[in-house]
Structure 1
Amino acid sequence: MDNHFENNKELMNKLDESFREIRSIINTYWGKYSISGLGITHARMMTQLSENGPTKASHIADKLYITCGAVTGLSDRLIELGFVTREKDANDRRVVLLKISELGEKHVEEIKAVRKNLMIHLFEGLTSDEMEKGMYLFNKMKQNMVTFNATEKE
């Protein structure tokens, strides 16, 4: 493994830097066109709630690959803006669900439009084959990390 790193260190560093640059450019685009100054994760949370209905914070955390604490911070901001509400589960009063509000639902369509335009710009000029290759590479890297994380727990 160390030999693989040493032989490919420069290329790995370039890939890492490119990934960070792309994320930064995406975040800048999102900041320029987003509603109410909401970040991408706020928008993803609102979209999840719109598509799936009232949801427990832990489920949202799993879907967005963030912590429950992060969901609390994000939801506090969305509640403050009137985009999301907290409500008790009718079947179990101990369970608190997050729910998209009517106002939030209206903004979800704007979020989807911004995301669509972002995707159009991001993938412009790429063929379906190139995008499939990208998916293959991302899935392979994700699996590498899933495998590593599983062995770390042992």
Structure 2
Amino acid sequence: MSKNAEAVSEVIDNLRRIFQAINEYSKNAERITGLTGPQLWALKILAIAAPLRLSDLARQMYLRPATVVGIIDRLEGKGLVTRTRSIQDRRAVDIDLSEMGRKVASKAPEVAQAMLLNGLEELTDDQFSRVADGMQLMVCVLGAEQITPQPLHG
């Protein structure tokens, strides 16, 4: 195997490791809580910062508000979150954890998304730039520039 072939193999293996790690975190979280990674991530954020407006939660999750509405709908259906009209602005709705949601969040494992965000925050500016540039190149290599990103299910 040439040096180039070894380097290509390492890149592909590292991508596999990333996908496998996200999948394992997702399976573990779902086994323990019955929730998907994005649902659990929303609970974890709310456990720290609730009550939050949907737009604020979406911003913290790096997702579009429309995507987060679906996540919150499912959590509300399971009795884990509540929605109430804001006292300050009657047009706005605050999202909070129910008592059951607090229990689930406190016992739940860490989610891949939070680990990823924490790890990215710990990088130096140079390291972060290299990761961002490399990820953008991978998107281009796969011709995936036009794909709308969906939540990680890990």
Alignment TM-score, normalising by the size of structure 2: 0.66
Unaligned stretches of 5+ residues in structure 1: 119-131
Name the counterpart of 2:142: none
Name the counterpart of 1:17: 16
Name the counterpart of 2:110: 115
1:38 is the counterpart of 2:47: no
Name the aligned partner's letter for residue 48 of structure 2: E
* Residue of 128, 139, 152 corresponding to 1:139: 128
Query: Where do residues 22-101 of structure 1 align in structure 2 (5 Å cutoff)?
Result: 22-33=21-32, 35=33, 37-101=34-98
Percent identical: 20
Instruction: Report the secondary structure of 1:90's partner residue.
Output: coil
More contact order relative to length (CA 8 Å, sep ≥ 6)? 2
Name the aligned partner's letter for residue 13 of structure 1: I
Give the root-mean-square deviation of aligned CA atoms: 3.4
Q: How many residues align?
A: 126
CA distance in 2, matches of 1:110, 1:94: 33
Alignment TM-score, normalising by the size of structure 1: 0.66
CA distance in 1, matches of 2:98, 2:59: 22
Instruction: Report the secondary structure of 1:76's partner residue.
Output: helix
Q: Which structure is higher in helix share?
A: 1
Write out per-residue CA displacement over residues 84-127 of structure 1, whole angstroms, 9 at most, x where no aligned residue: 0111111111111111112211222111xx339x9xxxxxxxxx
Write out per-residue CA displacement over residues 4-40 of structure 1, whole angstroms, 9 at most, x where no aligned residue: x99954433222222112212222222222x2x1112
Write out per-residue CA displacement over residues 123-145 of structure 1, whole angstroms, 9 at most, x where no aligned residue: xxxxxxxxx8xx64973455437
Instruction: Report the secondary structure of 2:94's partner residue.
Output: strand
Write out per-residue CA displacement over residues 52-98 of structure 1, whole angstroms, 9 at most, x where no aligned residue: 12111111111112221221111111111111011111111111111
Unaligned stretches of 5+ residues in structure 2: 113-118, 138-144, 146-154
CA distance in 2, matches of 1:7, 1:25: 26
